[in-house]
Amino acid sequence: MIRIEHISKRYRMRFGFHEVFQDLSLTIHRGEKIGILGRNGSGKSTLIRLLGGSELPTTGKITRSMSVSWPLALSSAFQGSLTGLDNLHFICRVYGREPAPTVGYVAEFAGLGRFMREPVHSYSAGMRARLAFALSMVIEFDCYLIDEVIAVGDAQFQQRCREELFGRRGDRAMIIVSHMPHIVAEHCERAAILEAGQLSEPLPVAEALDRYAELSQV
Amino acid sequence: MSISTDIRVTSFAESLTIQRRVVYALVLREILTRYGRHGLGFLWLFLEPMLFSVGVLAVWKLFHATHLVLPLAPFTLSGYATVLVWRNTIGRVIAAVEPNRALLHHRNVRVIDLFLARIILELGSTTTSFLVMYGALMALDLAPWPADLSAMLMGWGALSLLSASLALLVGPLATLNDSVERVWHVFSYLFLPASGAFFVVSALPMRLQSIALWVPTVHCVELLRQGIFGRAYHGHYDLGFVFTVCLAVLVPGLYLVRYVQSQVEGE
């Protein structure tokens, strides 16, 4: 379970403080799939970073009794001057996993082959994104954070990503953040709407989509 | 296969294991990003400070008086090596967070780990290069076998501890405010003559001696040299003073590290 209790987050800006949200609460249970709908700039990514623990809330408390992934397929979490293999080793060391058995999987899944031993900055954008996704699959988590959905690679690769994530790991909790309603509709049972610094109660997904559609029209 | 990366249920011992793992991963990563794997690769870790010391030795040899009470080579090396310890350790920690901010997406990677990894790497490389250089001087018959090895190591250890403590204060300050880096550059040059690297306390006039002993690095260098040259060196040192300074900077330093952690923003 992840429990968020009355958190707020504000950033110091040139003009003073920018408060992204106030008094936000949410509970995610094991295996539950929750969508967060919000327009651009509503604070979705900030919420993901707080859930993942890379940033701390200004006030309030977040407790986790399940392991939570880093934001999925995030290519910026890797180092360009290092090779794909180095990045894999780094991730494995940080999360305490033996790297050797995973090398083949990552090279094959990301379709990198010999490029595993080349620096990441020599990769195409597609290769980079595929590596990032493959690395995210190396460590098993109880809960996956998905920020906008994996629009990575060609149709075939996307199909494989979906299998890995929603098929093989279908029993895990997931938090899917998106401004595209159909993605949330496809994978989540419930969804909450982030708007003007407030997060609604999680609603059944159909209801949430209606509410979101209304908001978007205004 | 499920690997728990939970923080709520981790005990202190488990946290320590995670931290060790993370710092180790960061150190290896840092070596690779800085030195790559081509050519001499990570040997530069030791060659860089070594080349510097050799250069300084050569310059001293060229311009300096021929009759000295202390052997020139070990005196210069012990001085210059100590400068490298505090200057590199603190200098490297200043830019520890910015280029690594993306790594903070991995929750187990904390700001303190970024600092620790750089401190460990820098202390490790300067220590190794000092030991290798000193060994080389001994082999060339330019330096004596240390008169008191434990004193020598204690002086070095105290200096390492002091540098690490200072780094944990300067590091977060520099992360919070860019001007700290520029001030540090100026300060580190101005501080050089006062650091104790290039003078002997007992050879100073009395009045200057008491002033010099307010500088914590002086105590470490004195103890180190006493270890090298023996009792005849008349080292002036007070380890209690050095440790007090360490503690006095560590306490606010660690608070600041925690503050930086609460402020840091992912990419």
E strands in A93-189: 143-147, 173-178
Indicate the SS3 state at residue B71.
Answer: coil
A60 and A80 housed in the same domain: no
Give the other-Cβ count within 10 Å of B98's Cβ.
11
Q: What is the DSSP string of B1-44?
A: ------STT--HHHHHHHHHHHHHHHHHHHHHHHH-SSTTGGGH
Q: Do both A59 and A119 map to the same domain?
A: no
Order across the sheet with A2-13: list the strands.
A16-28, A2-13, A59-64
Do residues A44 and A20 share a domain? yes
Neighbours of B222 (CB within 10 A): 24
Instruction: Spell out which residues of chain B touch residue A66, defining contact as CB-CB under 8 Å.
Output: 6
Q: Are residues A7 and A49 in the same domain?
A: yes
- What is the per-residue pLDDT for B1? 39
Residues of chain B found within 8 Å of residue A49, distances taken between Cβ atoms:
105, 266
- What φ, ψ does residue A175 adopt, rounded to 5°? -120, 115
Q: Is A74 on the interface with B (CB under 8 A)?
A: yes
CA distance A43 to chain B (A): 14
Instruction: Indicate if A158 and A200 belong to the same structural domain.
Output: no
Residues in B 76-115 with any Cβ partner in A closer than 8 A: 102-109
Last residue in a domain, options A168, A185, A209: A168
Nearest CB to B106; choose among A70, A81, A89? A70
Residues in chain B: 267
CA distance A55 to chain B (A): 6
pLDDT, tens digit (0-9, with 9 covering 90-100), for A22-81: 889 999 999 999 999 988 888 888 898 899 888 889 999 999 889 999 888 666 667 778
Q: Are residues A116 and A101 in the same domain?
A: yes
Asked if A86 and B29 come within 8 Å (Cβ–Cβ), the reply is: yes
List the single residue in A49, A56, A140 with the smallest CB-CB distance to B2. A140
pLDDT at B67: 52
* Confidence check: pLDDT of B235 > 70: yes
Q: Which residues of chain A have pLDDT under 70?
A: 73-77, 149-153, 218
Could you tell me the residue range of the domain that residue A45 belongs to?
A: 2-69+172-217
Is residue A19 within 8 A of residue A40, CB to CB? The reply is: no
Could you tell me if B141 lies within 8 Å of chain A, comparing CB atoms?
Answer: no
Cβ <8 Å between A86 and B32: yes
* Other Cβ atoms closer than 10 A to B256: 19
Question: How does the average pLDDT of chain B come out, rounded?
Answer: 88
What are the pLDDT digits (tens) for B125-182?
A: 899 889 988 998 899 888 899 999 999 999 999 999 999 999 999 999 999 999 999 9
Maximal CA-CA distance, chain B = 70
For residue B4, pLDDT beyond 60: no
Confidence of residue B252 (pLDDT cuts 50, 70, 90): very high
The burial class, CB within 10 Å (0-12 / 13-18 / 19+), for A189 is exposed
A192 and A163 co-located in one domain: no
Residue B244 above 50 pLDDT? yes
Contact A95 B5 (CB under 8 A): yes
User: What CATH number does residue A44 fall under?
Assistant: 3.40.50.300
Contacts of B17 in chain A (CB under 8 A): 96
Looking at the structure, tell me whether residues A17 and A38 fall in a common domain. yes
CA dihedral B44, B45, B49, B50 (to 10 degrees): -60
Say if residue A126 is in the same domain as residue A189.
no
What confidence tier does B267 reach under pLDDT thresholds 50, 70, 90?
low
pLDDT at residue A77, rounded to an integer: 67
CA distance B85 to B167: 11
Q: Print burial letters for A119-142: b (CB count within 10 Å at least 16), e (below 16).
A: bbeebeeebbbbbbbbbbbbbbbb
Q: What residues form DSSP beta bridges with A17? A: A12
Query: Is pLDDT above 90 for B58?
Result: no
- Could you tell me if A137 and A151 lie in one domain? yes
pLDDT of residue B5: 45
Residues of B whose CB is below 8 A from A135: none
Given a cut of 60, is residue B2 above it in pLDDT? Answer: no
Q: Mean of the pLDDT values across residues B10-32? A: 90
Lowest mean pLDDT among B49-63, B99-113, B224-238: B49-63
The per-residue DSSP string of B184-244 comes to: HHHHHHHHGGGSSSS--GGGS-HHHHHHHTTSHHHHHHHHHHHHHH-GGG-----HHHHHH
A152: closest CA of chain B, how far (Å): 20
Element (H, E) at A33: strand A33-37
Q: Are residues A97 and A62 in the same domain?
A: no
Percentage with pLDDT > 90 across chain B: 60
Model pLDDT, residue B266: 65
- Distance, in Å, from the CA atom of A82 to the CA atom of A90, rounded to the nearest integer, reads 10
Q: In this predicted structure, which of A40-54, A175-189, B4-18, B68-82 has the lowest mean pLDDT?
A: B4-18
Same domain, A112 and A196: no
Q: Provide the number of structural domains found in chain A.
A: 2
